[in-house]
Structures are given as structure tokens and as C-alpha cells.
Structure 1
Amino acid sequence: MTATKRSGKDLFMNEMIINLSQIAKDAGQAIMDVRSKGFEVVNKKDDSPVTAADIASNEVIMKALTELYPSTPVLSEEGADIPFSVRQSWNEFFLVDPLDGTKEFIKDNGEFCVCIALMRSNRPVLGVVYAPTSDTLYTGCAEKGAYVTRENRAPEKITTKPAAENEGLVVVGSRSHPSPDLEKYLSTMNVAKMTPAGSAIKFCLVAEGKAHIYPRFNPTMEWDTGAGQAIVEAAGGTMLGLDSKEFPYNKENLINKGFFVTA
């Protein structure tokens, strides 16, 4: 009986990984379509930028998730005005950033991605991150592990690689949001290389062993971190708050405090 339940759960997670991967790729194509035609930049109420690509990607994701999982609510950056009084009762929901790295998209440096996470009991249990400019897909969940698929080749299993004793750390940090706190923190460590990168791709670099740590002191939003955290943890890494406690989600205020992602 236990084996049957386990098998059913595996099948469900496999199917969801396939579905969310395809949704992320379709959303990525919508982003690239806008990118090829040109776009205007508008500032939202919080002064963060939004483009037609953010909106187009969100429409693709919302339509697909609503059709495939009609009973599972969605919290997306482009639809975040859901009252906490409604959200606090959610046991399961999707956490979505339809275009993570809008500033990088505007700069046209290719470091942007689509992020979709499945949340259960306010924890990320499955994550998909798709970088459309390189056609690179990262997936991760505890039951199946973490994988990267490049240009439709076979998925490759990925794992974090902690630094060896006396080895200098490879650190990944935000390209568009530098922090004096980060410089102060790194000054106390043996850093071999500092790699700037945009969006949730930073999580993925830790997950696939290309970086040892991603420290973040500037604020982010919950949809910036959910999918990346699921992938890092599935690859063997950890993500904790600056207080070394479990990172909270579905808060009344969706702004994140700082965190450490480590191999």
C-alpha cells in the first residue's frame, strides 16, 4: 500500500514537472516574441519596471495553470493583489514570476528567466526555471532531484558542490542590485571569484555546482526565490534567512528579507 502511494506521488510529480516545464517554455517564447519586436517600459506603483513581455508571459502561464490545475490558486508578480485574508488559508498554490530579471531583459543581456514554483504548507516543493535566450531549463523537487536540460538535449542531473577545505569560494551575486553589506560580508571570507548574474539564474548556478554561495542582503519578493529555492534544495543545497532560520513564504507582506543560498 505504501509503495502504491509512493508510486502515485512520483507519477504526479513527474507529470507536473513536465507540465510546468512546457508552460515555462511557452511563456519564454512569448517573452522572446516581444523582445524581437521591441517594447516600451512602464513603471508600476512600486517603481519597478514592467514590459509587454512580463504581461504576455503572465497570460500564457495563468491560462495554462488555470486549465490544468483549476483548483490550485496562483500568486504571480503580475497578479499579486490577493488579500492575505484569502491567501492565508492556502495549503497549496503556485508562486510565479513570469519574467524574473525585468531589468536584465530591458538591458538585453539575456540574464532573465521564467520562474514557477509549487508551494505546499508555504514551502517550495517543486521549481522550474527557464532561461529562454539560452534555451536552458532547470527543474527540481525533493522526490526527483534537480536537472538541467540544454537546447532540448537529455536532462542532466545536477548537484551542488561545496567548496573543498582551503578552496576559495566562488560567489554569485546580483548584477543590478549591488550591496555594501555584501562587500562587507565577503571581505571576511576566502573568495576566489565573484560572479555577477541576473534573476533566479543565480540559484541555478549554485544548484549545478558552478558557484558555492549566493548571499543576498537586498530585499527581493517571494516570487523571486520560490522556484530557485526548490531547485537548490533538490540539488543538495540550502537556503536560509540571515537569521539562519527557515525562509518564510506566503507572508502578509510579500517582501523578502536577506538570505544565504549555499552548496
Structure 2
Amino acid sequence: MNDIGAELADICEAAAALILPLWRSGLTVTHKADQSPVTEADQRGEALILKALAERFPDIPVISEEDASEFGTPDAIGPRFFLVDPLDGTKAFVRGDPHFTVNIGLIEHGRPVAGAVTSPPSGESWYTAGDQALKRLKGVAAKPVRARPWPKGAALALISHTMKPETADKLAAEYGFDLREPMDSSIKLCRIAEGAADIYPRHGPTMEWDTAAGHAVLEAAGGQLTTPEGGPFAYGKVRDGFKNGWFVARGA
């Protein structure tokens, strides 16, 4: 099952093709119980992904953001399941910014073993292929990507658009990065995976479907995503409603 990344990328790209025409189209934005935004793009993308996964992998359960928001997360889950975020970075999507993605990750025994991430505006897709990560653009052959070694004196951190300067300063002192760039969504993990950035410290809330696909890609590219203390970052946290704790993503 760790060789299904290309199939997952196909599904992500189909959802991206559905979502992209809705970007900057003046869609109505509603809000979920946690006040996070949701649009028709989220819902239509999720419907396509759930249908495709059910057809191709009928025996593997799926936990998806919008379904979980409406019906809640399950009280129990087996060792293998998909985590889906049909539109990660909805706030960026609503603002008209290009940093939003479509994500599908496969979890086995608490670890992300396969995944795909697609950026609808750029047409880029990153996905796992066994023990490596690949990147492809429409009409261009896929190429391997690798995380880069830490560039001393020029390490670039990707941070949230909403992060306060004083918070970023504290993180820079803690993790030793030199440069910073604001960016939304799981594309941050993919930029680290392809060697375009070096660290993404997240001292704030996320959900498992936000990180699973990008985590799989990053690890396949030679990077890592751990707790701030360096411990393993696990999935399937049923008791926590599939909420993540703090984490740090790093390159090679």
C-alpha cells in the first residue's frame, strides 16, 4: 500500500480541477462550529475524493475534514485508514491567495506511509513512491525531490501568515533559523520536501488531516516531522478527536 502515491495524486488532481474554477469566484463562505470557514469548493472536492477512494480502496475507512465537522470523528479506528483534507488552507482560498492544497494521506499503525498533495493554482503535485518522493506538473514527467541539508546562516522557516513578529522571533531563537516566509497550508511541508525551505515549527492547533499527506511526502524526501522534543508524531488519536499537538517539520 505504500506504492499508491501516484493513484492518490490522480485523485487529488481531479479534485483540484474541480476546485480551481471556484477560486476567486465570489463563493459564499459559511462557518463551522469552530468558526473556521467552509465553502462549496471544500464540499465538492471532498465528495469527489470520497467517491474515488470508495471505488479504488473500498476496504479502507476514510476520515475527512468536512464529514468529520458535520458528523464528528469516529470513536474507534483500525490500523489502516485514509485522512483527507479536500481544501487545506480555506482561509487563503477565501482571501484569493494561492497557498491552498488538496491532501490525501494513508495511515498504517499510526504512521503516514503514503500520501499526495496537489496545489490547484500552480498545478504542482507531490506524492510518495515507495521510499522516495516525486513531484510532477501537468504534461511534465515526475521527478524525485529531496530535502536539503541545513544551510548554515541561510536557513529558511515557513510560518503562518497570522504569526505575530514577536512569536516568530522566539521561534527563530529556539530553532536557529535565519530567514522566514509566511505561507499557508500543507504546501509548507512540500516546499521543505523539495529543498526550497528548511523548517516549519508549528506551536499551535492542527488536525491530523492537515498534516498526514504532507508528512508522508516529507519523510519520503528525507525530511522529518516530530514533536518539538524530537519524538515520533503519531496518527489515529481517537481520544483527542484526531487533533494534533505541536510539531516541527525539518529538512534533511
The count of residues paired between Structure 1 and Structure 2 equals 247
- 1:147 aligned residue (112, 128, 134): 134
Letter aligned with residue 20 of structure 1: L
Q: Which structure is larger by alpha-carbon Rg, 1 or 2?
A: 1
What CA distance in whole angstroms lies between the structure 1 residues aligned with 2:133 and 2:159? 21
Using the TM superposition, give the Cα deviation of residue 84 of structure 1 relative to its aligned residue in structure 2, in angstroms. Answer: 4.0
What CA distance in whole angstroms lies between the structure 1 residues aligned with 2:39 and 2:198? 33
Q: Which moved more, 1:68-77 or 1:185-194?
A: 185-194
Residue equivalent to 2:243: 255
Residue equivalent to 1:46: 34
What CA distance in whole angstroms lies between the structure 2 residues aligned with 1:83 and 1:195? 33
Q: Which secondary structure does the structure 2 equivalent of 1:62 belong to? A: helix
Check the 8 A contact 1:179/1:217 in 2, yes or no: no
Q: 1:16-41: CA deviations, max 9, x gaps?
A: 22321111011111111322643100
Higher relative contact order (CA 8 A, sep 6+): 2
Check the 8 A contact 1:182/1:215 in 2, yes or no: no
Residue equivalent to 1:129: 117
Q: Which secondary structure does the structure 1 equivalent of 2:48 belong to? A: helix
Determine if the alignment matches structure 1 residue 61 to structure 2 residue 49: yes
Residue equivalent to 2:66: 78
Letter aligned with residue 161 of structure 1: R
Residue equivalent to 2:6: 18
Relative to structure 1, the CA distance from residue 227 to residue 179 in structure 2 (aligned partners, 3 Å threshold; closer, same or farther) is farther
Using the TM superposition, give the Cα deviation of residue 122 of structure 1 relative to its aligned residue in structure 2, in angstroms. Answer: 1.7
Check the 8 A contact 2:128/2:217 in 1, yes or no: yes
Aligned-residue RMSD, C-alpha: 1.8
Between the two proteins, what is the percent identity of the paired residues? 35
Q: 1:156-203: CA deviations, max 9, x gaps?
A: 111011224x43311111224558544312135553321111100000
What CA distance in whole angstroms lies between the structure 2 residues aligned with 1:36 and 1:213? 30
- Structure 1 unmatched runs, 5+: 1-11
Q: What pairs up with 1:1-263 in 2 under 5 angstroms? A: 13-14=2-3, 16-35=4-23, 37-80=25-68, 81-87=71-77, 90-141=78-129, 143-164=130-151, 166-178=152-164, 180-188=166-174, 190-251=176-237, 252-253=239-240, 254-263=242-251
Q: TM-score with structure 1 length normalisation?
A: 0.88
What CA distance in whole angstroms lies between the structure 1 residues aligned with 2:33 and 2:222? 38
Check the 8 A contact 2:6/2:116 in 1, yes or no: no
Q: Which secondary structure does the structure 1 equivalent of 2:140 belong to? A: coil
Check the 8 A contact 1:182/1:216 in 2, yes or no: no
Check the 8 A contact 1:181/1:217 in 2, yes or no: no
Letter aligned with residue 21 of structure 1: A
What CA distance in whole angstroms lies between the structure 1 residues aligned with 2:31 and 2:66? 13
What CA distance in whole angstroms lies between the structure 2 residues aligned with 1:17 and 1:191? 31
Using the TM superposition, give the Cα deviation of residue 215 of structure 1 relative to its aligned residue in structure 2, in angstroms. Answer: 0.8
What CA distance in whole angstroms lies between the structure 2 residues aligned with 1:152 and 1:178? 40
- Structure 2 unmatched runs, 5+: none
Q: Which secondary structure does the structure 2 equivalent of 1:85 belong to? A: coil
